Amino acid sequence: MNILILGGGGREHALAWAVKQNPKCDRLFVAPGNAGIAMLAECADLDIMDGAAVVGFAEENAVDFVIVGPEAPLAAGVADSLRAAGILTFGPSAAAARLEASKAFTKEICDACGAPTAGYARFTDRAEAEAYIRARGAPIVVKADGLAAGKGVVVAMRVEEALDAVADMFGGEFGAAGAEVVIEEFMTGEEASLFVLCDGTEVLPVGTAQDHKRVGDGDTGPNTGGMGAYSPAPVLSDAILARTMEEIVRPTVAEMARRGTPFQGVLYVGLMIEGGRARLVEYNVRFGDPECQVLMLRLGAQALDLIQACAEGRLGAVRANWAEDHALTVVMAAAGYPGAYAKGSQIRGLEELPEDSSHMVFHAGTAKRDGTVIASGGRVLNVTARGATLAEARDRAYGMVDAIDWPGGFCRRDIGWRAL
Ligand code: AMP
Ligand code: GLY
């Protein structure tokens, strides 16, 4: 089958790498792709936010199956356009993508199906939001309703911080995403993520992971898109996992189906775990980045069979085969990230690294110039390894990091510390 993957980050490199190993895969296109993806797929220059353009490309190139990586095209209805054209697609409709695109919508679903989450209130009026914050006190969490590229959440330790966040959001800092604000109870505990394939009715967990959001060692400094991740997440024990499926995931999927907007794709379930029980922090409607990289290294070629069964509504008929293994990924970023950073620095030493079922450097923001790989984004490489233990996976990943010659980059040295 000919496959098109939409996206061009480390997540899409990992998806392409797994899909390509499956003998079912004939031609593989990725739009827009990056320098790493170009080594295993045909990169296409295509506006992935434009449903008609994606359908046109798929028809011209006899694409049988489209896998959508990031949330933006999903929220924009690209999966709807593809399905309307009769093209098999992995990823939710725009209506179901509201689970990520609107925090207020997710809260409404939790209320309707009884899923445990932080207590909250919704506001479209600044004065009312401020009065609520003063009455509740800190710590308190302020969230812009819509998609804000991960920057729309302020965990305020002081009342003034929460008031400033409300002022920014209603002041237009997040555009339309901030027209409504959700104010939540601050939850304590340990965070972890669960990834579940959903075909509208059936569900299949495909792994757990934990990431490191802060830029600096010891979880210090500003938030980023993620500086590293590992799978499985030891805090998500089998018992908590089973309870989370029953209390959160299945009720959500049933409620979405009941509303006539079934969820098809991967549900990224962000959880806060305390006292043997998980509460929902957020949903995303796509694989995490860099969490996908560790999941794909562990799943390998079967990922395509599972994702395809999901898109075809046959999840009840497939199973994931897990090795008792661990995977860990270290993000190498351009100096300055998540603030201003330079593009164009050269990266050497990648060719000499092992590339097999236990070692893989996924590219996030890279390009090629005169035959050498250069940095073209903030998060640039995802150095990923697998092992019988998490410590072995970590040592292999950092062994590769140390062999990469990139003076313009940096990484955290403590990925996995909590679990180790
Ligand atoms: P979100 O985009 O909703 O996942 O929020 C980003 C991050 O903010 C989460 O990963 C948590 O670390 C933190 N966060 C969000 N909501 C809460 C909450 N109610 N209590 C504590 N921390 C939260
Ligand atoms: N790593 C966090 C995310 O993908 O949203």
Based on the fold, state whether residues 233 and 306 are members of the same structural domain: yes
Ligand 2 atom 2 nearest Cα = 288
Q: Read off φ and ψ for residue 173, nearest 5 degrees.
A: -60, -30
- Is the CB of residue 281 below 6 angstroms from any atom belonging to ligand 1? yes
Based on the fold, state whether residues 158 and 199 are members of the same structural domain: no
* H/E element, 20: helix 10-20
Residue 416 covered by a domain:
no
Based on the fold, state whether residues 340 and 374 are members of the same structural domain: yes
Residue 27 covered by a domain:
yes
In three-state secondary structure terms, 401 is helix
State the Rg of the chain over Cα: 21
CATH of the domain at 386: 3.90.600.10
Give the relative orientation of helices 126-136 and 159-170 as an angle to the nearest 10 degrees.
Answer: 170
Give the relative orientation of helices 291-299 and 302-311 as an angle to the nearest 10 degrees.
Answer: 110
Total number of domains constituting the chain: 4
Residue 290 covered by a domain:
yes
Give the single-character DSSP code of 367.
E
Last residue within a domain, chosen from 117, 152, 179 = 179
pLDDT at 74: 98
pLDDT at 176: 76
Residue 114 covered by a domain:
no
Structure tokens at 70: 């990031």
Based on the fold, state whether residues 173 and 71 are members of the same structural domain: no
Q: What is the pTM of this model?
A: 0.96
Which atom of ligand 2 lies closest to the CA of 291?
1
Is residue 267 within 8 A of residue 278, CB to CB? The reply is no
Residue 119 covered by a domain:
no
Q: Which amino acid is at 315?
A: L
Based on the fold, state whether residues 306 and 343 are members of the same structural domain: no
What are the mean pLDDT values of the chain's consecutive 10-residue runs (420 residues total)? 98 98 98 97 97 98 98 97 98 98 96 97 94 96 86 92 93 79 96 98 97 95 94 96 98 98 98 97 97 98 98 96 94 97 96 94 96 95 98 98 97 94
Residue pointed to by tokens 């799943």: 299
Is residue 415 within 8 A of residue 397, CB to CB? The reply is yes
C-alpha 98 – ligand 2 centre gap (Å): 16
Based on the fold, state whether residues 382 and 330 are members of the same structural domain: yes
Based on the fold, state whether residues 213 and 288 are members of the same structural domain: yes
Alpha carbons 236 and 208: distance in angstroms, whole number:
7
Structure tokens at 106: 């997710």
pLDDT at 234: 95
Cβ count near 95 (within 10 Å): 17
Based on the fold, state whether residues 228 and 164 are members of the same structural domain: no
Ligand 1 atom 16 nearest Cα = 281
Alpha carbons 145 and 162: distance in angstroms, whole number:
15
Residue 216 covered by a domain:
yes
Q: 219 is in which domain, residue-wise?
A: 190-317
The gap between the terminal CA atoms of the chain, to the nearest Å, is 41
Alpha carbons 378 and 370: distance in angstroms, whole number:
21
Based on the fold, state whether residues 215 and 300 are members of the same structural domain: yes
pLDDT at 128: 95
- Is the CB of residue 291 below 6 angstroms from any atom belonging to ligand 2? yes
CATH of the domain at 250: 3.30.470.20
Residue 98 covered by a domain:
no
Residue 110 covered by a domain:
no
Q: Which residues have a Cβ under 8 Å from the Cβ of 250 and sit 6 or more positions away?
A: 203
C-alpha 189 – ligand 1 centre gap (Å): 11
Based on the fold, state whether residues 306 and 370 are members of the same structural domain: no
CATH of the domain at 67: 3.40.50.20
pLDDT at 388: 97
Alpha carbons 13 and 40: distance in angstroms, whole number:
9
Based on the fold, state whether residues 164 and 239 are members of the same structural domain: no
Last residue within a domain, chosen from 284, 317, 350 = 317
Is residue 297 within 8 A of residue 348, CB to CB? The reply is no
pLDDT at 175: 76
Based on the fold, state whether residues 396 and 278 are members of the same structural domain: no
C-alpha 150 – ligand 2 centre gap (Å): 8
DSSP 37-102: GGGTSEE----TT-HHHHHHHHHHTT--EEEE-SHHHHHTTHHHHHHHTT-EEES--TTTTHHHH-
pLDDT at 358: 95
Last residue within a domain, chosen from 91, 111, 135 = 91
Q: Which of 120, 142, 155 to mutate to test the pocket of ligand 1 (most atoms within 8 A of CB)?
A: 155
pLDDT at 171: 87
Which atom of ligand 1 lies closest to the CA of 187?
20
